[in-house]
Each structure stands twice: as structure tokens, then as C-alpha cells.
Structure 1
């Protein structure tokens, strides 16, 4: 069946992406079928295949949207924050209620797709890898601002620190959702503050 080019503002296109993202992020991509997408959207198969070639095509579009959602949360989190430390802590608090109220239902899309897309879905792995790199560059830029303002010492390595911060955040999200207890997020934020203080010009 020939796929018809559709404007991304098309309501049906967006409905498919939004509902599929929920399924992919809660059930997993491999466990989600086209029938599942038809059921949750109440759309016939033809309406889906006129917009997407296959399920993988839907997944790529859905996780591109997931990346834009997380990016928006990060941008909004730092508004009104004065110091680099305040900005980084604010970013960490995006998943303050990782168990019951994450930005995207089902948890962090980066975390959820890290293993599933590793060898079986290289195109998705590439998208999520780029998304993580952009997040790292964003946090690294905040740390560099802290160095320039004199908040952090000149020995601080922005890229390495940003990588550690994001990795520890992902680990805290994973353990909080695994145990259904946000205490891991709280602990991560607590010791993130200690870590950041160790880089300040005391």
C-alpha cells in the first residue's frame, strides 16, 4: 500500500503518535502490535498505513516526539533559576515523582528504549543516542556557564560532569520505578547537591 505524504499537523497523524507513544513506553515496542494501536486510537488499519509504512515508522515518530517533550520540560525547569547548581537540580526534579507522575507515562523513554532498541532497532537507537547527546550538551553548557561566572572551579570538566549527572539520574529513575518508591530520586538529588558543591569555588 502506498503511503500518502501527510502534514504532521494532521490530527489523525498526531493521535497515532500520541497513543502509540503511550503503548510503546508502557508495554514496549515489541509487545505492541498494530492491532493494539488500532484499538487504542479507534482507527481502521487503512488510516494508520496511509500515514506510516509500518510499526517501526510509528515508533520513530513517537520517540522523536518523546524527545521534544523531555526537551521542553528541561527548558521550562531552568526558567527563573539563577545559578548553574539551581538549574541542574531543577532538571533533576523533572522526575521527582518518577513512580506515579513522570513527564511521559511509563517512565523515561531514553531508559525504556536503551536495551530494546540496542540490536534489533538500530534506527531508534540512533535517535535516542542523539537525544541523550543533546541533553548532555545542554547540561554541559549550564556547567560551563557556572565556570564562567565563578560558581564552579576552573578544574571542572563540564562534559564529564554532565555525563555523570545524567547517568545517575537515569539510574535513580530506573530504581524508583523498579521498586515503586521515589526515595531513590530524592537520594539522587540530595547527593547531586553535595557533588555540585564539591566543584564550587569555596
Structure 2
């Protein structure tokens, strides 16, 4: 069955999400106002709340939009690799490609949302945890497959390795954004690449 074209309502929701996304990422949930949304979209309050229950609902949809886009980009980069090591190395490579755009965009949407929603917005907090766990599963799977096919040392614990890589990505992003210095992120990505090479079985 062919996919049906989006309805007018679906197109409007998508339009609102795309216009609201950079605002929420830079100003946060609390800092983003209804006036920001009406100005960015050119819609009235009724036009926005006719498609979303409230501002929190827009924030949730925006976060899901960010995660979908980031996941799709990372997966495309990973899929270009042939071996498990190549696929793992595609992750820091992808973040090097993303870095300038991400900083200009206000930083990593997952990190920004996690920091703000931790104690204030349970739904978004759960979604950020889900996004991090999803990323972790990808890395765990790549390491596990590499061990099965004799590419990666069996002494490597996939879950621990995934935790370290994710912490390097998010920590580097946070420090670079806070200080305005690229070196934090670049050093973290360099270290990621070194760790990936270190778990490789060499003949």
C-alpha cells in the first residue's frame, strides 16, 4: 500500500515543529514563549493550539523531531562502514561533520533538553533517557557484532564501552558550548577514535 500524502493538519503540524525547533533548542522550554512561536510561524495562538494541546506538547514534538533527524543522520553515516570498526568510527566522524552546525544551532538538542527537563518535565525527561538508550543500543550492537565476527576483542564490555563513548560525545559538546572552545569536543572525538582502534583485533 502506498503512503498517503500528508493531510493539511499534518503539514501544519510539521511546519510548526520545524519553525519551533531552533527556538526551543536555543531558548529552552521555559524561555520559549507563545509570542516566539507565533512570530516564527506567522500563525495565531489558535493556529498553534489548534494543532497542539499546549506549549509542552510542541516541545515534545520538537524533541522527537530532533531525535529522528539525528538518528537518521548517524545511521546513514554508520551504514557507510563495512566492518564493525568502520561503523564505530563513523560515529565520531559524524559528530565532526555536525559540530559547526550543531553549535550554531544552540548545541545538542538531547543534551539541552536533558539538562532542562531533568526535574521539570517528566515526559521530556523520559524521552531523553529513551534517546540516550537508543544510541547506546546501536553502539552495543556494533561492538557485539564485531566480537562475533572476530574484529573486536572479547575483553571489551559492550555496555561499558557504549557508556564511555556517549559520555565523551555529550561531555565534549557541553564543554565546547559552555566555553566557546572547539578543543574540548575535538579532543573527545580524538579520544573516541583512539578507544575504537584500541579494541580492534590486529593480526
Q: Which structure has the highest helix share of the two?
A: 2
Same fold, judged at TM 0.5 (above): yes
Q: Which runs of 5+ in 2 are unaligned?
A: 1-5
Name 1:15's counterpart in structure 2.
Answer: 15
* Cα pair 1:99 1:176 within 8 Å, conserved: no
Name 1:178's counterpart in structure 2.
Answer: 178
Name 1:65's counterpart in structure 2.
Answer: 65
Deviation of 1:49 after TM superposition, in Å, equals: 1.0
* Cα pair 1:77 1:94 within 8 Å, conserved: yes
* Cα pair 2:103 2:177 within 8 Å, conserved: no
Indicate whether 1:153 and 2:153 are aligned. yes
Name 1:113's counterpart in structure 2.
Answer: 113
Deviation of 1:56 after TM superposition, in Å, equals: 0.3
* Cα pair 2:92 2:193 within 8 Å, conserved: no
Q: 1:25 to 1:131 in 2, by over 3 A?
A: same
Q: Distance in 1 between matches of 2:101 and 2:179?
A: 15
Deviation of 1:97 after TM superposition, in Å, equals: 5.6
Q: Which runs of 5+ in 1 are unaligned?
A: 1-5
**Offset from partner CA, 1:50-100 (integer Å, 9 cap, x none):** 111110011111111111011101111112212222222221222216653
Give the superposed CA RMSD.
Answer: 2.0
TM-score (norm 1): 0.89
Deviation of 1:19 after TM superposition, in Å, equals: 1.5
* Cα pair 1:98 1:182 within 8 Å, conserved: no
Q: Distance in 2 between matches of 1:36 and 1:11?
A: 20
Count of residue pairs brought into register by the alignment: 197
Name 1:27's counterpart in structure 2.
Answer: 27
* Cα pair 1:88 1:139 within 8 Å, conserved: yes
TM-score (norm 2): 0.89
Q: 1:62 to 1:109 in 2, by over 3 A?
A: same
Deviation of 1:20 after TM superposition, in Å, equals: 1.4
Secondary structure at 2:102's aligned position in 1? coil
Name 2:3's counterpart in structure 1.
Answer: none
Q: Distance in 2 between matches of 1:135 and 1:155?
A: 22
Name 2:129's counterpart in structure 1.
Answer: 129
